[in-house]
Amino acid sequence: MSSPTFFPVTEEVAAAAWVDEAKYKAMYEQSVKDPDAFWGEHGKRIDWFTPYTKVKNTSFEGDVSIRWFEDGTTNVAYNCVDRHLATRGDQTAIIWEGDNPAESAHITYRELHEKVSRLANVLKAQGVKKGDRVTIYLPMIPEAAYAMLACARVGAIHSIVFGGFSPDSLYDRIVDCDSKLVITADEGLRGGRKVPLKANVDKALEKAPGVTSVIVVKRTGGNVAWNEARDHWYHDEMAKVSAENAAEVMGAEDPLFILYTSGSTGKPKGVLHTTGGYLVYAAMTHQYVFDYHEGDIYWCTADVGWVTGHSYIVYGPLANGATTLMFEGIPNYPSVSRFWEVIDKHKVNIFYTAPTAIRALMREGEAPVKKTSRASLRLLGSVGEPINPEAWLWYHGVVGDGRCPIVDTWWQTETGGILITPLPGAIGQKPGSATLPFFGVQPQVVDNEGTILEGATEGNLCIVDSWPGQMRTVFGDHERFIQTYFSTFKGKYFTGDGCRRDEDGYYWITGRVDDVINVSGHRLGTAEIESALVAHPKVAEAAVVGYPHDLKGQGIYAYVTLNAGEDPTEELRKELVAWVRKEIGPIATPDLIQWAPGLPKTRSGKIMRRILRKIAANEHEALGDTSTLADPNVVNDLVSSRMNRG
């Protein structure tokens, strides 16, 4: 029996949704034909202190300049909090569900307003001013949202570093943007285990004297070292300040946040997002893609350390006055039913998660899902990597009981919000396809020479014109911004992804075509992992590639050449794995390390990754032409030792 390959929009869903098929077509058409009129209208969905008179002023040529609503002024925290007080002060803004199922909390918009205002005053008391950078290294607790919004309120630029990153990675990110202040917690709690956040900050700051204050939230009460001159307890400082704070007046193009993300070369870059366009886009996509309606309980399982958490846990939902659920834990603690139990406990209507979580839970069978009700669910979403049709069908059939549309949302840290996605009332779904572009988004498929490919085709995915949520620059390095995104295909934003477009115009993202790998939905640059490996005193050279992995989507495969005289022992293999975890963080843990007496290189010394990818994937028959290699025997050696390992 073959599975259905098309899931049409049901009449019931279309009738209740913001947008049906006809409306999608009309709105899309207007959005690309007359972006000024379209966004001029939709920009009004947020409150402006001074209304904008200019809408779009963007160019992907030359110096690349992207400005939206440029003469308007507003404040993101005002829009996410203050403007809701009159109508929904007593409504829950954030439902917090702890790692431990016995712990949860409801925070109303009024409470959120008080916390954010106080924390804004704490920041000011610490000398933080408009334009200053603040690093946030927190677990998934409400204080993470307070911290983001407090920065936005005073006009400081936040840079969140995911709690799974090592002290070294944290150090790099603090120094790159020159943060003066760090907000962290004593410890995080995930799956019953403690994460030593404050200790990691202490280590990172040994080398970063520029940080003059650290605000520490007490989460577990665990023991932490204390630097009297620098460290402050969050609860003490919050009690000292007033609960009145006037939101700073921000220009639409004033920076809101920096978020570091991996690319194909060098260290992670600071993706910079600004105020007005970002918020309009995050809020609008949140409403239309998830078909968010007043009163819905909405849950995105991402961590605020990733862009998904920024746009779809905090900024988009709160700008819309939604109730957003924030989950501290993991999908399999205390049991593999946890997600579904949380859905029942809080009557979640809209659920947004990642394929890697779906695949892991699918492996546990239907029983842990079926013992829960999930009757509240209306819509399911997926993000972070391509979802394989098998996982899609399981998500749809088992989790959603065949009742809920799935929005497979393709986007990136750089795009600020969702670019390609079904709208549940308008676009029928094909399992594994991100389907069609959101309003204002003009995808284009090009071959490696940049020739535009029409109709059903496959190639490199570009976007030809700007949308309001687009990143504006790489923090401190505009040249790198131009080089990375606008130079491969001149005048177009190159996504780094490959895609196929089918005969219905649906887009199927096939994965990265550059040296970025996607492990469980987390982006890693192969160059970063290589440079961590070669920093080890026994390693001469390393090459890292992704390979297909059942649960993670891609796994990390490292080829390592040792210094002369070093023995390739099992012990050293373990040591290198631990080393990379220490250098970058657990998300970069290599899955396989293969000893490589030599690496396949061209005569000019370039490592032939294409070949290494094939060997890692066990596709030995399809290695292609190896005659241009400096030493073709290297490949035979690698293949035979790969085969011996199975």
Q: How far apart are CA 605 and CA 599, in angstroms?
A: 10
Smallest separation (angstroms) from ligand 6R9 to the CB of 492: 15
Q: Is 388 annotated as a binding residue?
A: no
Q: At 141, phi and psi to the nearest 5?
A: -125, 160
Smallest separation (angstroms) from ligand 6R9 to the CB of 311: 8
Q: Is 386 annotated as a binding residue?
A: yes
Q: Is 190 annotated as a binding residue?
A: yes
Q: Which is nearer to ligand 6R9, 275 or 460 (CB)?
A: 460
The beta strand positions in 1-132, using DSSP E, are 56-59, 65-68, 73-74, 92-97, 104-108
Q: Is 409 annotated as a binding residue?
A: yes
Q: Is 467 annotated as a binding residue?
A: no
C-beta neighbour count of 421 within 10 angstroms: 28
Q: Is 410 annotated as a binding residue?
A: yes
Q: Which is nearer to ligand 6R9, 43 or 525 (CB)?
A: 525
Q: Which is nearer to ligand 6R9, 381 or 400 (CB)?
A: 381
Smallest separation (angstroms) from ligand 6R9 to the CB of 468: 17
Smallest Cα–Cα separation from 81: which of 72, 91, 71?
A: 91
Q: How far apart are CA 294 and CA 320, in angstroms?
A: 9
Smallest separation (angstroms) from ligand 6R9 to the CB of 466: 18
Q: Is 512 annotated as a binding residue?
A: yes
Long-range Cβ contacts of 24-28 (<8 Å, 24+ apart): 24/423, 24/426, 24/427, 27/439, 28/437, 28/439
Smallest separation (angstroms) from ligand 6R9 to the CB of 283: 17
Q: Which is nearer to ligand 6R9, 422 or 440 (CB)?
A: 422
- Return residues touching ligand 6R9 (CB under 6 A): 261, 306-308, 382-386, 408-413, 434, 495-497, 509, 511-512, 518, 523
CB-count burial class (<10 Å; 0-12, 13-18, 19+) for 450: middle
The most distant pair of C-alpha atoms in the chain lies apart, rounded to whole Å, by 73
Asked whether the beta carbons of 134 and 156 are under 8 A apart, the reply is yes
Q: Which is nearer to ligand 6R9, 255 or 309 (CB)?
A: 309
Smallest separation (angstroms) from ligand 6R9 to the CB of 504: 17
Q: Is 412 annotated as a binding residue?
A: yes
Q: Which is nearer to ligand 6R9, 117 or 421 (CB)?
A: 421
Query: What kind and span of H or E run contains 261?
Result: strand 255-261
Q: Is 413 annotated as a binding residue?
A: yes
Q: Which is nearer to ligand 6R9, 211 or 379 (CB)?
A: 379
Smallest separation (angstroms) from ligand 6R9 to the CB of 313: 12
Q: Which is nearer to ligand 6R9, 78 or 489 (CB)?
A: 489
Q: Which is nearer to ligand 6R9, 285 or 495 (CB)?
A: 495
Q: Is 338 annotated as a binding residue?
A: no
Q: Is 75 annotated as a binding residue?
A: no
Q: How far apart are CA 592 and CA 450, in angstroms?
A: 35
Smallest separation (angstroms) from ligand 6R9 to the CB of 71: 30
Q: How far apart are CA 171 and CA 28, in angstroms?
A: 43
Put the strands of the sheet holding 457-463 in their side by side order. 452-453, 443-446, 457-463, 493-501, 507-512
Q: Is 411 annotated as a binding residue?
A: yes
Count of alpha carbons within 13 Å of 520, Cβ hemisphere only? 13
Smallest separation (angstroms) from ligand 6R9 to the CB of 546: 11
Q: Is 534 annotated as a binding residue?
A: yes
Q: Which is nearer to ligand 6R9, 188 or 553 (CB)?
A: 553
Q: Is 396 annotated as a binding residue?
A: no
The beta strand positions in 112-254, using DSSP E, are 133-137, 157-160, 181-185, 188-190, 193-195, 213-217, 231-233, 250-251
Q: How far is CA 369 from the centre of its chain?
A: 26
Q: Which is nearer to ligand 6R9, 165 or 306 (CB)?
A: 306
Is the backbone peptide bond immediately before 334 cis, with ω within 30 degrees of 0? yes
Smallest separation (angstroms) from ligand 6R9 to the CB of 452: 20
Q: What does the block give as tokens for 206? A: 């040994």
Smallest Cα–Cα separation from 162: which of 146, 150, 177, 144?
A: 144
Smallest separation (angstroms) from ligand 6R9 to the CB of 302: 8
Asked whether the beta carbons of 372 and 344 are under 8 A apart, the reply is yes
Asked whether the beta carbons of 524 and 517 are under 8 A apart, the reply is yes
Q: Which is nearer to ligand 6R9, 523 or 536 (CB)?
A: 523
Q: What is the DSSP string of 135-151?
A: EEE--SSHHHHHHHHHH
Q: Which is nearer to ligand 6R9, 252 or 516 (CB)?
A: 516
Q: How far apart are CA 542 and CA 527, in angstroms?
A: 9
Smallest separation (angstroms) from ligand 6R9 to the CB of 430: 13
Smallest separation (angstroms) from ligand 6R9 to the CB of 421: 8
Smallest separation (angstroms) from ligand 6R9 to the CB of 186: 28
Asked whether the beta carbons of 547 and 557 are under 8 A apart, the reply is yes
Asked whether the beta carbons of 274 and 255 are under 8 A apart, the reply is yes
Q: Which is nearer to ligand 6R9, 79 or 382 (CB)?
A: 382
Facing residues of 353 across strands? Answer: 382
Q: What does the block give as tokens for 482? A: 């131009």
How far apart, in Å, do the first and last CA atoms of the chain sit? 33
Q: How far apart are CA 610 and CA 601, in angstroms?
A: 11
Asked whether the beta carbons of 435 and 506 are under 8 A apart, the reply is yes
Binding-site residues from annotation: 190-193, 308, 332, 384-386, 408-413, 497, 512, 520, 523, 534, 536, 539, 581
| Residues of each annotated binding site for CoA | 190-193, 308, 332, 520, 581
Binding residues for ATP: 384-386, 408-413, 497, 512, 523
| Residues tagged in the binding site annotation for Mg(2+) | 534, 536, 539
